[in-house]
């Protein structure tokens, strides 16, 4: 079977993608049957130019520094519409609305200049079961000419019953967390600003009612907001060639105060966001 290649001339508009995502959640007779495998498709978009105003809005939303080089996490939001285009398709194994970000891996070979044209290529693979639902990986590669400069594996979780749903992990005892490096306050205004900059207007982030519809007691922060925001604590000390591995724990309910940790480790940093009273992780990460 041949891989279907979708070549775009401009990024998909997030507004139309979210309309498709919402419509995809509505059953349609004879069309709604979803496949049990991920369609073999690749989306590519070449010659992307970074809009300095968009980059500045992203930096304001995340607390990262605006400079001539792209923040380590910035290409994520440029590639997000490409992954969304694949996920909102009617023959994708699950609906996009309500899916959450479980973990993320970014590999950067060098710093990327704001002025460099970027070629994006995204596909989705590795559909698998999890006790809480289905996981898939969105793989994105970014090239400057023939040079691979940035690669990402974004793992999404769609919460539903699977054959593993009866398995229960051993509950971890809650612990009083150690004194933090600092604390941050995360509220709806902060996350709405990030939603505008990133284009990710998933209702679990932007609406308390929308979040409740998908099983969350309140709206929750974007995982990639926290993954970007915590890097502000080590800016200027991120290696040019970097591997950033992030695992998302319990979501940050809005509003919340969270503890920030950034510990020097061999070859880089160990990072974490913890609940200030119960000590459970919202995010754990390594930067090497």
Poorest-confidence range of 16-30, 38-52, 272-286? Answer: 16-30
- State mean pLDDT over 31-39: 76
For residue 16, pLDDT beyond 80: no
What's the pLDDT score for residue 72? 98
Angle, CA 288 vertex, CA 277 and CA 250 arms, to 5°: 30
pLDDT tens readout for residues 76-132 = 999 999 999 999 998 999 888 778 899 999 999 999 999 999 999 999 999 999 898
Rg (CA), the chain: 19
Token duo for residue 140 = 């994105």
What's the pLDDT score for residue 22? 67
pLDDT tens readout for residues 129-185 = 989 899 999 999 999 999 999 999 999 999 887 888 776 666 677 788 999 999 999
214-217: long-range pairs with CB below 8 Å, 24+ = 214/97, 214/98, 214/159, 215/159, 216/251, 216/253, 217/253
Q: Average pLDDT of the chain?
A: 92
DSSP string, 149-213: EEEEEEEEEEE---TTTT--PPPPPP-PPPPPSEEEEE-HHHHHHHHHHH----HHHH-HHHHHH
Residue 85, SS3? Answer: helix
Token duo for residue 238 = 């991120």
Angle, CA 106 vertex, CA 104 and CA 112 arms, to 5°: 145
Please indicate whether residue 144 or residue 17 has the higher confidence score (pLDDT). Answer: 144
pLDDT-based confidence at residue 18 (cuts at 50, 70, 90): low
Q: Is the pTM of this model over 0.85?
A: yes
pLDDT tens readout for residues 213-231 = 988 999 999 999 999 999 9
């Amino acid at each position: 079977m041949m891989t279907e290649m979708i070549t775009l001339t401009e990024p998909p508009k997030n507004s139309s993608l979210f309309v498709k995502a919402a419509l995809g959640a509505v059953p349609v007779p004879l069309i709604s049957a979803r496949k049990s495998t991920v369609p073999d498709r690749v989306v590519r978009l070449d010659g992307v130019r970074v809009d300095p105003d968009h980059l500045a809005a992203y930096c304001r939303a995340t607390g990262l520094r605006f400079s001539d080089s792209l923040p380590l996490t910035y290409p994520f939001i440029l590639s997000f519409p490409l992954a969304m285009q694949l996920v909102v398709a009617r023959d994708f194994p699950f609906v996009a609305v309500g899916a959450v970000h479980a973990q993320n891996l970014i590999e950067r070979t060098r710093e990327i200049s704001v002025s460099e044209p970027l070629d994006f290529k995204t596909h989705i693979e590795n559909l698998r079961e999890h006790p809480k639902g289905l996981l898939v990986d969105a793989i994105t590669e970014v090239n400057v000419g023939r040079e691979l400069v940035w690669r990402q594996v974004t793992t999404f979780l769609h919460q539903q019953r699977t054959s593993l749903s009866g398995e229960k992990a051993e509950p971890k005892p809650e612990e009083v967390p150690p004194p933090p490096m600092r604390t941050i306050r995360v509220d709806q205004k902060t996350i709405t600003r990030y939603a505008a900059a990133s284009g990710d207007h998933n209702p679990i982030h932007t609406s308390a009612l929308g979040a409740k519809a998908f099983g969350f007691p309140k709206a929750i922060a974007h995982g990639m907001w926290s993954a970007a925001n915590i890097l502000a604590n080590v800016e200027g000390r991120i290696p040019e060639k970097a591997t950033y591995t992030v695992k998302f724990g319990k979501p940050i309910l809005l509003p919340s105060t969270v503890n920030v940790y950034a510990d020097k480790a061999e070859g880089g940093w160990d990072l974490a966001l913890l609940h200030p009273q119960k000590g459970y992780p919202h995010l754990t990460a390594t930067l090497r």
